[in-house]
Chains A and B, each alone.
Chain A
Amino acid sequence: MDSTLTAPSTMIAQDTDVDFSLVERYLAGDMTAFDELMLRYERQIYRVCYRFVENRDDARDLAQEVFIKAFEHLPTFRRESSLKTWLYRIAMNHCINHVKKNSREFVEVDDNIGSTRPSVHTEMEHREQREQLRRLVKRLPPKQKAILELRIHEQLSYEEIAKISGRSVSTIKASVFFALEKIRKLVKEPKGRSSPRLRPQ
């Protein structure tokens, strides 16, 4: 099995121990533990939120809400999973709910997608392609999008994503495949215009 599929168990165990001890300290009133916990997870949670809203201010607000919710419910954290998994689960649910509430955020792919205008700079071309893909990812159902983001951008293992979303590893793997397949079909979709260039680089 490839190392990208499963995270090394010893590292996970060490991280979990550190997290649990920080949680204990925070619950005992030690505010330095709060800072340490924030430092460990603020970027990861913010990134997940950003992937959902694609806007710095909204992502910051969402991430702050996630942390407030998490710290308020920390006394009820049962330690059946790692703190990381627990935080990601809260973030994922919060973001999915946010997207559902503001469903107008599912904007149609804009007219520039599929432009065959030759690009002079390769970097710009890649950026444009990424932008196009990002817009296509937005059209995925929220849960499928969340799973894809956690795997591709956060590079969580399938086991971790399975724990976060409460599904089996097989389901998560299938979900990743179906999401990629859907994006591939969207790229091919004619829509009266030519499709964006998604050639191997």
Chain B
Amino acid sequence: MFGHLNAEDFTNLIEHAELTAKRRAHLQLCTRCMATLAAVQDVQAQMAPSENDIPEPDWAEFRSSVRDAILSRSAQRSAYIRRWTGWPVRPAMAWGLSAVFVAGLTAGMLVWNQRGVEPAASVSEIETVDNPETDAVVWSQTDVFDQLAQLKDDEVEHLRRLLEADSAKVAPEPPKPPKQ
């Protein structure tokens, strides 16, 4: 035995479609399914299409309204696109781009000039590294020759001594006389 008819079965019956033999047998025996089917068929029959109930508009006017709306929207869209890319905006865009170019050029030149008049680094920027092994002098990024030119006498003397001491360390030993 199986259950009652489902919604799809009822719709198929309303539409006069075929049911399986088992389903049809059930329907013939089941008063509940019979009652449901009769009631739903009743409602469906009374809902039959009734064209006359619907008042129709003026179709020519209807069509022309749709056409006008589509054309006006299309015109608006193309005008919008033209507004941002077309000839009316090109002189303004040219002026704007020129202004940006001039401003950029001016700013670049100002920056360049400021870098040119920047004061040279003082000797204090020369950092000595207390490295016991090398006692090397580490120079900053400033121009070495500019720095040397600006050294005071005592600084020059100190630097000379440092360089001499350093060169004495790395100087090669005098060659030994060949053995006879």
Point out residues on A near B: beta carbons under 8 Å. Answer: 1-2, 4-5, 31, 34-35, 38, 42-43, 46-47, 50, 56, 59-60, 63-64, 67-68, 71-72, 129-130, 133, 137, 148, 152-153, 155, 170, 173-174, 176-178, 180-181, 183-184, 187, 198-201
Q: Given contacts A152-B44, A181-B40, A183-B43, are A68 and B11 in contact (CB under 8 A)?
A: no
A1-B48 Cα distance, complex, nearest whole Å: 21
- B173 adjacent to chain A (CB < 8 Å): no
With a cutoff of 8 Å between Cβ atoms, the chain A residues found around residue B54 in the complex are 47, 50
Are B62 and A42 neighbours in the complex by a CB distance under 8 Å? yes
Are B56 and A46 neighbours in the complex by a CB distance under 8 Å? yes
- Mask of B42-53 contacts with A, CB within 8 angstroms, 1/0: 111111111001
Are A31 and B67 neighbours in the complex by a CB distance under 8 Å? yes
Q: Of the candidates A38, A130, A152, which one forms a contact with B66 in the assembled complex, judged by CB atoms under 8 Å apart? A: A38
A56-B3 Cα distance, complex, nearest whole Å: 46
With a cutoff of 8 Å between Cβ atoms, the chain A residues found around residue B57 in the complex are 46, 56, 59-60
- CB-defined A-B contacts under 8 Å, sample of 23: A31-B67, A34-B70, A35-B63, A42-B59, A42-B62, A42-B63, A50-B54, A56-B55, A68-B70, A68-B73, A133-B43, A133-B47, A174-B8, A177-B10, A177-B14, A180-B44, A181-B36, A181-B40, A183-B47, A184-B40, A187-B43, A198-B42, A201-B46
Interface of B is mostly: helix
Point out residues on B near A: beta carbons under 8 Å. Answer: 6-8, 10-12, 14-18, 36, 39-40, 42-50, 53-57, 59, 62-63, 65-67, 69-70, 73
Q: Of the candidates A2, A34, A35, A184, which one forms a contact with B42 in the assembled complex, judged by CB atoms under 8 Å apart? A: A184
With a cutoff of 8 Å between Cβ atoms, the chain B residues found around residue A177 in the complex are 7-8, 10-11, 14, 40
A63-B55 Cα distance, complex, nearest whole Å: 14
Q: Of the candidates A1, A5, A68, A129, which one forms a contact with B69 in the assembled complex, judged by CB atoms under 8 Å apart? A: A68
Shortest Cβ gap from B72 to chain A (Å): 10
Given A68-B69, A177-B8, A177-B10, 11 additional A-B pairs, CB 8 A: A38-B63, A67-B66, A71-B70, A129-B46, A133-B46, A152-B47, A152-B48, A153-B49, A173-B7, A174-B11, A180-B43
With a cutoff of 8 Å between Cβ atoms, the chain B residues found around residue A59 in the complex are 57
With a cutoff of 8 Å between Cβ atoms, the chain A residues found around residue B11 in the complex are 173-174, 176-177
With a cutoff of 8 Å between Cβ atoms, the chain A residues found around residue B15 in the complex are 2, 4-5
